[in-house]
Chain A
């Protein structure tokens, strides 16, 4: 089997750990790679993904069956879009509970869709246990811990074991303090056409921002390639076994 497309879920049971920033970067990364992206926002409140990228993001909820159908049926649909999900901390448990019950990961794999869960790691026990839970419940998904360097050094990283094909720890580097205000006001896209104009961003800040962005995109590209490679290796193994 080789993957046709991917579904990336940005998750953490904690609020304010950088999930939405990560989801914004991922959405823009895939756009820049020339892939059609559909992103789903499962947050409530201010400054959520849909406000930053209104054109490519739809809001979703999984409180009732209609919401669940709108989200999950679309996720596994045969539409050639790369999907990104920004899972608010309140939706963490309900989302994975439904996903587990309906066999979401298995269905996605049957349809040649790679599932990657990007889990923003924090030292608290709740997160460590939630992560361990995901590993057992979704053994077929790629589970990649994300170290948001803004949250301090990741001394707790050994509690987050890599799981699934191609998993690697993803680093989200710190953006210089003065630059945050340039990117924190929605709507905002990192995609080059917007950033190229650098509206209201001084040149040196702009260069710094681009450098930061390149580092992150490199991390994303690395993860993507590793997932593809793991998939390739397993299919080669299957072929050599059958011949």
Chain B
């Protein structure tokens, strides 16, 4: 049996598009026919749950009973991949908790595949966060995600400073989420459906919808680019080495 994979999506700040990245990940594994479940830590009401209600459970990652719900079920759940959308500011403490329960130890031994998607904010403060979390994660697959989705003038820091932080994490890789047209993004928000459903012109329950073809086209193009990034870092091989990779076609 394939070993379970856990992907932590986090940031030290709110409003950097963490949940958006988590949504593209859930869609990505869905397109690869990989059973996936997701945990949303924005209790009591999660954004991720709004888009993927069937796969998502809202949890409080700091409570022991919810930690059990997530980590004790890794081996028994049908889902191969567990995506955890960590609430803003909780990334360090979550990693700390994972270290305490011995989770990071199992990851190190190769019993569990563990990856961290660290969504970067526009300020230097979040770079210091990298240094802090880097100490805890150890051998995890660490991805630094530059999220340009909502804002084009995002990364204006000094590249030298950035690189010095970047190098502190062994084997860290960079992922770039390109910009998506604001109106297209907004319409997906309004529709409250997965990106894949929006592209396929479907509603939350799979019924035919009537979204703008232009906006669907933009979302499809953008999602294709995002998945291209996931393909590039070999995300599928990582969570399940046997799986067929390079499913790039979004819909139809």
Contacts and interface: CB of A to CB of B under 8 A. Distances in A.
Contacts of B221: 101-103
Interface in A91-114: 98, 101-104, 106-107, 110
Given A102-B218, A102-B220, A73 B213 contact: yes
B179 to A, nearest CB: 13
B214 A72 contact: yes
Interface in B207-252: 212-218, 220-221, 252
A68 interface: yes
Main secondary structure of the interface of A (DSSP, over half): helix
B181 A76 contact: no
A107 B183 contact: no
A65 interface: yes
Nearest to A64: B183
Contact of B214 (A102, A106, A110): A102
Given A65-B181, A65-B183, A107 B215 contact: no
Most buried by B among A66, A103, A110: A103
B212 to A, nearest CB: 5
A198 interface: no
Interface string A43-86: 00000000000000000000001101100110010000000000
A176 B98 CA distance: 85
A102 B252 contact: no
Interface string B43-80: 00000000000000000000000000000000000000
Contacts of B220: 102-103
B218 A101 contact: yes
Most buried by A among B213, B215, B216, B218: B213
Interface string B168-195: 0000000000000111100000000000
Given A65-B181, A65-B183, A110-B252, A76 B218 contact: no
Contacts of A110: 252
A63 to B, nearest CB: 13
Interface string A100-132: 011110110010000000000000000000000
Nearest to B210: A73
B101 to A, nearest CB: 46
A101 B182 CA distance: 16
B139 to A, nearest CB: 39
Contacts of B182: 65
A144 B85 CA distance: 52
A107 B199 CA distance: 11
A76 B211 CA distance: 12
Contacts of B252: 106, 110
Contacts of B218: 101-102
A51 to B, nearest CB: 27
A103 B214 contact: no
A98 B213 CA distance: 12
A111 B65 CA distance: 51
Contacts of B181: 65
Interface of B: 181-184, 212-218, 220-221, 252
Given A73-B214, A104-B217, 4 more contacts: A65-B215, A68-B214, A98-B214, A102-B216
Interface of A: 65-66, 68-69, 72-73, 76, 98, 101-104, 106-107, 110
19 contacts: A65-B182, A65-B184, A65-B214, A66-B183, A68-B214, A69-B212, A72-B217, A73-B212, A73-B214, A76-B213, A98-B214, A102-B213, A102-B216, A102-B218, A102-B220, A102-B221, A103-B221, A106-B252, A107-B217
